[in-house]
Amino acid sequence: MNCKDCQISLPNLLLDAAAPSNAAAREHLAACTSCNEQFRSLKATFDLLDSWKAPEPSPYFDQKLAVRIREEQTAPPAGWFERVRARLLFNTGRQFRPVMVAAMALVLIVGGGTAADLSLRSAPVQASATVNDLQNLDNNAQAIQTMDQLLQDDGSSDDTASPPQS
Given the rule CB under 5 A, which residues bind Zn ion? 3, 6, 32, 35
Closest residue by Cα to residue 134 from 73, 43, 63: 63
Q: What angle is formed at CA 124 by the lines to CA 120 and CA 126, rounded to 5 degrees?
A: 150
Q: Smallest distance from the beta carbon of 44 to Zn ion, in angstroms? A: 18
Nearest CA to 32 out of 13, 48, 58 is that of: 13
Minimum distance from residue 34 beta carbon to Zn ion (Å):
6
Torsion angle of the four alpha carbons 142, 146, 147, 149, in this order, in degrees rounded to the nearest 10: 140
Contact 64, 138 (CB under 8 A): yes
Closer to Zn ion by Cβ: residue 30 or 89: 30
For Zn ion, the closer CB: 35 or 134: 35
CB of residue 53 to Zn ion, shortest distance in Å: 34
Which is closer to Zn ion, CB of 8 or CB of 102? 8
User: Which is closer to Zn ion, CB of 21 or CB of 156?
Assistant: 21
